[in-house]
Structure 1
Amino acid sequence: MSHATTGLKDHRPAPAPAARPSLSSRSLPRLAPLGFAAVSIALGVGVSLAAGWHSRTQWGLLSALIFLAVSYAVTTAVENQRQARDRLATSVVWVCFLVAVVPLVSLLWTTVSRGVERLDGYFLSHSMAGVLGWEASGGVYHALIGTLEQVGIATVLSAPIGLLTAVYLVEYGRGALARAVTFFVDVMTGIPSIVAGLFILSIMLIAGLEPSGLMGALALSILMIPVVVRSTEEMLKLVPNELREAALALGVPKWRVILKVVLPTAIGGITTGVMLAIARIAGETAPIILVVFGNQLINTNPFAGEQSSLPFYIYEQYKIGEVAAYDRAWAAALVLIAFVMILNLVARGIARWKAPKTSR
């Protein structure tokens, strides 16, 4: 019996040889894309100079095309065509990212470098009262006050309306009325700002109202409401239905479920959406030109009299055409960018603070 068993063991097929480890295949080093980028930039700049192109934009676009070609060709030769397609897709993503970021960085750098020369305490604490266009004095205090008041009033008017409209669409909206509201919100999201200004201007002419910061705030509210509605609606849709069902199963009324469960859960995203809507209207100029008219004096009453704002101040100084006016315009643009950046940082902080706590 043992002899037969031994014979059977001897006639078993030999085990197949172990597969070669994948590490033995050829592959490019991790820093290869940086090398491709360096070679592409050198070739792009060299070819551009040889062709007589002096635009840095042309240099960058040509270098990007050379980078894609070199990356695909070298990866195909060293690795394989499948890896080359993957690297080409990754390279396209990076090139598109740089194409989008470089203009933004260039804009920010130009604004900071030009605006910081004029930005100081005097500029932030004085108005343009009695200052001629060619004089180097004057400040932005009156425009900053106008922007804060107009944006603040627009937020007080728009945030509750937008929030309640979004709650209706998500929690109660059914049928033709909900579809009509959604349609008009989508239409209002894309209207030009000057149309909102013309609408308020027509009301002013019919009712015989005078220009004021309140009129500008009403025009800004028309632009802000659809943004708040759309962002709040998306945040409310992210709240799990299980939370609603659990609260309703305990016999809690629906309005209380919305107030105590749904809104607290989505409050971080809602706050972020409101802050982004504020940042969107803070730079509008056309409605302010039509219904506020601007003012070089300090007017802290938004309900009476003409009033300025930061976007209008920038437009006004650029229109003067003097060197000193250009410097004031760049400084005001820097103040406006800082205002929007602070709003975004506040929104992120509130969103993180109010985010639902999860246990591990």
Structure 2
Amino acid sequence: MSHAVHDTRPSGSLRGATLPKWFPWAVAAASTALGFGVSTAAGLHSDIQWALIAALLFVVGSYAVSAKVEGRRQARDRTATSLVWVAFLLAVIPLASLTWETVKRGIKVLDGYFLTHSMGVVADTEPGGGIYHALLGTLEQVGLATLISVPVGVLTAIYLVEYGRGRLAQAVTFFVDVMTGIPSIVAGLFVLSLWILILDMGYSGFAGSMALAILMIPVVVRSTEEMLKLVPNELREASLALGVPKWRTILKVVLPTSVGGITTGVMLAIARITGETAPVLLLVWGTNFINANPFQDPQASLPMYIYLQYTNGSEAAYDRAWAAALTLIAFIMILNLVARGIARWKAPQTGR
């Protein structure tokens, strides 16, 4: 006896109603307008307040309309997407505002003269002068900190990945983690007590470099350690199987494979310490004159220059402070671009 099989599925599409692609943009526009209207009616004059109201209305409105048309499951998905966009905007808008404000104020006096002259013959309240002495000090101090921290950080990471076993490796890892969270002022106080107060070596750019190196070492260790862990063990085993010693395997196989990532980590560590002010304030002090010797006498730096000019209070000093801040941001941006370029250049090449 045969039994007929009937298709009980609906003849239409299995997919429910779907909102158009322009729906999020429409909700965003409506939320912005409504948020601005609510803040105006409530007498709120802060842009942040009406923006937060608009963001809340955007999330609630997206969920309410989507739940009505598409169902609760799709509405929850749209809510998660809306929260991601709100978080993204909350992160980008302050950054873009900061960059715009710095460019707008810093471009007033930023020119070739400003970059090639110092403040040695110009009073802080007078227009003119430049940042050559501060830029030179920053380059020397950061360069010395890099020379100190990179060998120590890279060799420490090699030990942890290639040799580290037992309690010593655990202790080193623990102290590296602790150093990662050390405030810059603590590093400055340590060098101040040891180098200046106990050894009586005096204030200098090198003293600031040692504090910056303390802040830089854990970043270099962590980034190098992660890059070394990404090197496949098959490469190490193949080299060792050919009779190559372990130290030579690390030198000729492991490090060349991970050099792109290590260089990127070093560049990011340099960018992290370039703007530090507390160690420089404690150990380097500052001067309006050019001091090309980082091992003797106070030396200027860009963070210190910005601080001193802004606390001066005059209009000309404000303009110089903003121009120096723009220079510092540009310098860090260049370092990040160089790091990305090196990482792409040294990235492992896949087969064609």
Pairwise TM-score range, normalised by the shorter structure: over 0.9
The one-letter code of the counterpart of 1:333 is A
Partner of 1:268: 260
Partner of 1:48: 39
Task: Map residues 115-130 of structure 1 onto 2, 5 A cutoff.
Answer: 115-130=106-121
The structure with the larger Rg is 1
1:221-258 superposed Cα distances (whole Å, 9 cap, x missing partner)? 01100110011111111122222222222222111221
1:18 is displaced (CA, Å) by 6.7
1:16 & 1:82 partners in 2: Cα distance? 26
Partner of 1:13, secondary structure, is: coil
Partner of 1:344: 336
More moved, 246-255 vs 104-113: 246-255
1:133-159 superposed Cα distances (whole Å, 9 cap, x missing partner)? 211111000000000000001101111
2:15 & 2:135 partners in 1: Cα distance? 65
1:266 is displaced (CA, Å) by 1.2
2:291 & 2:208 partners in 1: Cα distance? 14
Quick check: 1:143 aligned with 2:134? Answer: yes
TM-score (norm 1): 0.95
**Structure 1: runs of 5+ lacking an equivalent:** 1-7
1:254-284 superposed Cα distances (whole Å, 9 cap, x missing partner)? 1122112211121111111100100010001
2:203 & 2:311 partners in 1: Cα distance? 21
TM-score (norm 2): 0.97
The one-letter code of the counterpart of 1:180 is A
**Structure 2: runs of 5+ lacking an equivalent:** none
Quick check: 1:63 aligned with 2:54? Answer: yes
1:215 & 1:149 partners in 2: Cα distance? 12
Task: Map residues 1-360 of structure 1 onto 2, 5 A cutoff.
Answer: 11=2, 13=4, 16=7, 20=11, 22=13, 25-203=16-194, 204-360=196-352
1:350 is displaced (CA, Å) by 0.6
2:83 & 2:98 partners in 1: Cα distance? 23
2:12 & 2:246 partners in 1: Cα distance? 61
Pair 1:21–1:176, CA change in 2 (3 A): farther
CA RMSD of aligned residues (A): 1.4
The one-letter code of the counterpart of 2:302 is L
The one-letter code of the counterpart of 2:145 is A
How many pairs were matched up?
351
The one-letter code of the counterpart of 1:172 is Y
1:256 & 1:39 partners in 2: Cα distance? 65
More moved, 21-30 vs 307-316: 21-30
1:212 is displaced (CA, Å) by 1.1
The one-letter code of the counterpart of 2:284 is V
Q: Percent same amino acid among aligned pairs?
A: 68
